[in-house]
Structure 1
Amino acid sequence: MSSLDPISMATQLATFDVQPFQQRDQMQADRYQSQLTALSKVESALREFRTAMNEMNSTTSSIIKNSATVSQDGYFTANADATALAGSYQIFVEQIASAHQVSADMPVDLDSTTEIPTVGTLDLTINGETMSLDLATVDTDGDGIATMADLVSAINNDSANPGVNATLVRSNGQTHFMLSSSETGVANRISVSASGTGQAWFEDAFTNLNEISAPKDAVIWLGEEGSGLQLTNSSNTFQGFIYGVDITVSKAQTAGEAPLSLNVGADAEATKEQVNQFVEAYNSLIATLDTYTKIGGEDEKRGVLASDPTLRSIESQLTSIVRNEFNGMRLSDVGITISREGKMSIDSEKFDEAQQTNGAALEAMFNGEGALLSTLDSMAEPFLKFSSGLFSSRKDALQAGLDRLDDKQAKLERKYEMSYNRYLKQFTHMNSLMTQMNQTMSMFG
């Protein structure tokens, strides 16, 4: 009578005890995981679609794009947002803005180790804000010595710094201590004073600063220099002076030169590009929905969310909205059609004609409260809320199902272990009896 292998037998029988349950649970876990992955993909696609919509529908952006062109490059650039009104302007650039730069006349070693006082206060003021630097705090290593390099670091890293950049600059064999305003304009003039140091050379250096660059405001004229409307600004970018237009100056003109022309108007190509982006974003979302909701057939696998109510709701609402009328117009009126499969396409000629003949109505259809883009945004909102959105709720439910299956898997592992130990004990005992029987039978030859 041959002996048994208790370990092999115990392993096989314990596996038979739990395998059907493990296979069933694994199939369920795979289904939950595939649905969870698909929901995440659709959520991401809807979020990207909503972002694209919002980028075309804000206080500074719309489906209609404006452009600003300048008659001569090199002096200023201009940018027109969705609120800009069409018009032509004459602009003369008298002066560009500059930042204040000063240097302190005091000896600085080439290696920046010149010692400075470790008592007293250094006050730096810009535009009404003052930073009072306690010179005792400049010595960070506690050796009782503070250097010019330490002072630079202390100024630049102080949390109360009002906008002063300190640096050490080497020129012609000498090192100079410099202070620069981080912002341009007359209001950002640097004022410095040192007191209580007991060192006249140090305090005098800040009393008698060398001005390297004077602070200046940018100055432009709407119209002829001297007779038009003068505009001043602390920075080189004039925002809001012309409604919806930002002007950034970079070079001053020579006195007596003619002003430059600035023309603001609709940008047909940029508008068409915006509409193309809208169509592409919509089609991308529809393609993602189709991937996971397809019914399937003989040659096509059924989508993992084919009967999902959340996705069916999204697709139904999308279809209804884009086929609806907004401010008296439909997408089909401007050459944007939707196929039976739900995909959008543009008839370029019809859209170009709509731009030229009815641009205001085109914008009213897409932009503004209650228009197409805001309606699409409102549709997406309840699905995409991070804590209480429909996607969040669905994913939480699926994750809870996966967690329950993990718990069941842990129980099956314990059941396997118990079965294995029981079978191992039984077959070990049986093997021992068989061994004894074989030994007894051998005694009778």
Structure 2
Amino acid sequence: MSMMDPITMATQLATFDVQPFQQRYQLQADKYQSQLSALGKVETALREFRTVIDKMNSATASVIKNTATLSQEGNFTANVDASALNGSYQIFVEQVATAHQVSTGMPAGTTADTQIPTTGTLDFTLNGEAMSIDLSTVDTDGDGTATLTELAAAINNDSTNPGINATLVRANGETHFMLSSTDTGVANTINVSASGTGQAWFEDAFTNLTDISTPQDAKIWLGAQGSGLALTSSSNTFSDVITGVDITVTKAQAAGEQPVGLTIGADQEATKEQLNAFIDAYNNLVSTIDGLTGSGSEDQQRGVLASDPTVRSVESQLSNLLRTQYNGKSLMEVGLSINREGKLELDTERFEAAQANGSSSLEAMFNGDGNLFDSLDQAIDPFLKFSNGLFKTRKDALQQNISRIDDKQATLERKYQMSYDRYLAQFTQMNSLMTQMNQTGSLFA
């Protein structure tokens, strides 16, 4: 009688016992893993779409871009936002704003280590705010004396400092104690006095101040100097003097010079670049969803997420919002439409015409509470919340299914091992019996 290999037979039969379950579990695990991966792709595309929206929808950013052109550079710059109206202006810069800077009247021979009184106060006022330095607290190294270096540090580090910097400046062998306002304008004039110190030289130093830089407000004229509209600002930036335009002056003009021309107009290329980024991000999202939710055909495999309601809901909600009217107009009226494939297309000529006719009304369609970008962001938010978003919930459920299958496969491994051990024992015993029979038979041969 021929012998059998117990290991081979035990392996084959144990595998036969668990193989149908292994195949079913693997098919289920592959399905769940494919869905998990596909949901991740849709989520990534949706996050990228929202990122593009957020970049164009903030207090300082919008989809519409305007531009400012100057007839002469060097006197001021202009920053324009989407609310700026097309137009031409004449601006004359009479003076720029400056900060107050003074040198205190310290006696000759003053150095950084010159000792100052440790009694009395040094009082400051600036633009209606006050700061008082108690000279008994200036000594920070605990050596019993206070120096000008320690005084400068005490002023600069005081929690009530209204905007005054103290510095020590060395020039021609002399050390000068300087005070500077951090802000420009007449309102930020430094006022200081020392009292109760018992030392006249110190109190006189803060009485006898020398202006290094006199504080002044910026002044411009809308129109020619002397005959236009005069405007002043404590800083060098005039915000919203012209709707949607911030003017920052940098250099005063000489009396009699012609004002600088400022022309505000639509920046169509920059706007179109932003709008195309929005279109590309949306179309990428649609392509991703369509590629994973297709119903299938003879030539195309059924999408992994073909029956997933969460993903279909994303596309449906966003598509509906793109067909809604904003600021009394539909997107199609300004050149933005959805084609038969569900993707966005831009009619450049129609959009440029709409921008030329009124960039502020066009911007109001896209930006602001309740308008396009805000509506899209609100629709997207429930899907992408980190703690309880719909995508996270769906992915967590799939991951739990995969974990359960892993548990079943672990159980199956144990079942296989038990079957293998049983079959191995049986065939080993059978081989032993066959060996004994063969040996007995050989006695009668």
Residues 56-112 of structure 1 show CA distances to partners (whole Å, capped at 9, x for unaligned) of 455665443222222111111112212222222211110000011111222597972
Q: SS state of the match for residue 235, structure 1?
A: coil
What letter corresponds to residue 248 of structure 1 in structure 2? Answer: T
Residues 204-245 of structure 1 show CA distances to partners (whole Å, capped at 9, x for unaligned) of 111111210011100011112112111000000000222211
Q: SS state of the match for residue 378, structure 2?
A: helix
Residues 251-289 of structure 1 show CA distances to partners (whole Å, capped at 9, x for unaligned) of 001111121211223222222223212212323433554
How many pairs does the alignment contain? 401
Contact preservation (8 Å) 1:79, 1:247 = yes
Q: How big is the shift at 1:356?
A: 5.1
User: Do the aligned partners of residues 208 and 315 (structure 1) sit closer, same or farther apart at CA in structure 2, a change above 3 Å counting?
Assistant: same
User: Do the aligned partners of residues 141 and 388 (structure 1) sit closer, same or farther apart at CA in structure 2, a change above 3 Å counting?
Assistant: same
Aligned to 1:134: 134
Aligned to 1:443: none
What letter corresponds to residue 227 of structure 2 in structure 1? Answer: S
Distance in 1, matches of 2:30 and 2:51, equals 31
Aligned to 1:432: none
Distance in 2, matches of 1:190 and 1:207, equals 12
Q: How big is the shift at 1:318?
A: 2.0
What letter corresponds to residue 276 of structure 1 in structure 2? Answer: N
Aligned to 2:114: 114
Contact preservation (8 Å) 1:93, 1:253 = yes
Q: How big is the shift at 1:52?
A: 3.1
Aligned to 1:435: none
User: Do the aligned partners of residues 227 and 151 (structure 1) sit closer, same or farther apart at CA in structure 2, a change above 3 Å counting?
Assistant: same
1:11-30 equivalences in 2 (<5 Å): none
Aligned to 1:87: 87
Distance in 1, matches of 2:198 and 2:249, equals 46
User: Do the aligned partners of residues 302 and 196 (structure 1) sit closer, same or farther apart at CA in structure 2, a change above 3 Å counting?
Assistant: farther
Aligned to 2:439: none
Distance in 2, matches of 1:89 and 1:177, equals 45
Deviates more, 1:201-210 or 1:355-364: 355-364
Question: Structure 1 residue 157 and structure 2 residue 157: aligned?
Answer: yes
1:4-403 equivalences in 2 (<5 Å): 42-43=42-43, 45-57=45-57, 62-106=62-106, 112-289=112-289, 307-324=307-324, 331-332=331-332, 334-336=334-336, 338=338, 341-349=341-349, 351-352=351-352, 355=355, 363=363, 365-367=365-367, 371-385=371-385, 387-391=387-391, 393-394=393-394
Distance in 2, matches of 1:400 and 1:196, equals 77
Contact preservation (8 Å) 2:110, 2:176 = no
What letter corresponds to residue 230 of structure 2 in structure 1? Answer: Q
TM-score (normalised: structure 1):
0.73
Q: How big is the shift at 1:337?
A: 5.0
Distance in 2, matches of 1:199 and 1:29, equals 88
Residues 141-162 of structure 1 show CA distances to partners (whole Å, capped at 9, x for unaligned) of 3222322222222222222111
Contact preservation (8 Å) 2:164, 2:179 = yes
* Bigger Rg, structure 1 or 2: 2
What letter corresponds to residue 65 of structure 2 in structure 1? Answer: K
Q: SS state of the match for residue 100, structure 1?
A: strand
Contact preservation (8 Å) 2:84, 2:360 = no
Distance in 1, matches of 2:264 and 2:112, equals 53
Aligned to 2:427: none
- Unmatched 5+ stretches in structure 2: 1-19, 422-445
Distance in 2, matches of 1:145 and 1:22, equals 86
Deviates more, 1:68-77 or 1:359-368: 359-368
**Aligned Cα root-mean-square deviation (Å):** 4.3
What letter corresponds to residue 262 of structure 2 in structure 1? Answer: L
Distance in 1, matches of 2:379 and 2:94, equals 51
User: Do the aligned partners of residues 207 and 353 (structure 1) sit closer, same or farther apart at CA in structure 2, a change above 3 Å counting?
Assistant: closer
User: Do the aligned partners of residues 28 and 140 (structure 1) sit closer, same or farther apart at CA in structure 2, a change above 3 Å counting?
Assistant: farther
Distance in 1, matches of 2:26 and 2:178, equals 70
What letter corresponds to residue 172 of structure 2 in structure 1? Answer: N
Contact preservation (8 Å) 1:127, 1:189 = yes
Contact preservation (8 Å) 1:108, 1:176 = no
TM-score (normalised: structure 2):
0.73
- Unmatched 5+ stretches in structure 1: 1-19, 424-445
Residues 388-414 of structure 1 show CA distances to partners (whole Å, capped at 9, x for unaligned) of 5434544665677799999x79xx89x
User: Do the aligned partners of residues 82 and 72 (structure 1) sit closer, same or farther apart at CA in structure 2, a change above 3 Å counting?
Assistant: same
Distance in 2, matches of 1:163 and 1:211, equals 17
Distance in 1, matches of 2:29 and 2:116, equals 71
Percent identity reads 64
Distance in 1, matches of 2:49 and 2:198, equals 67
Distance in 2, matches of 1:37 and 1:109, equals 77
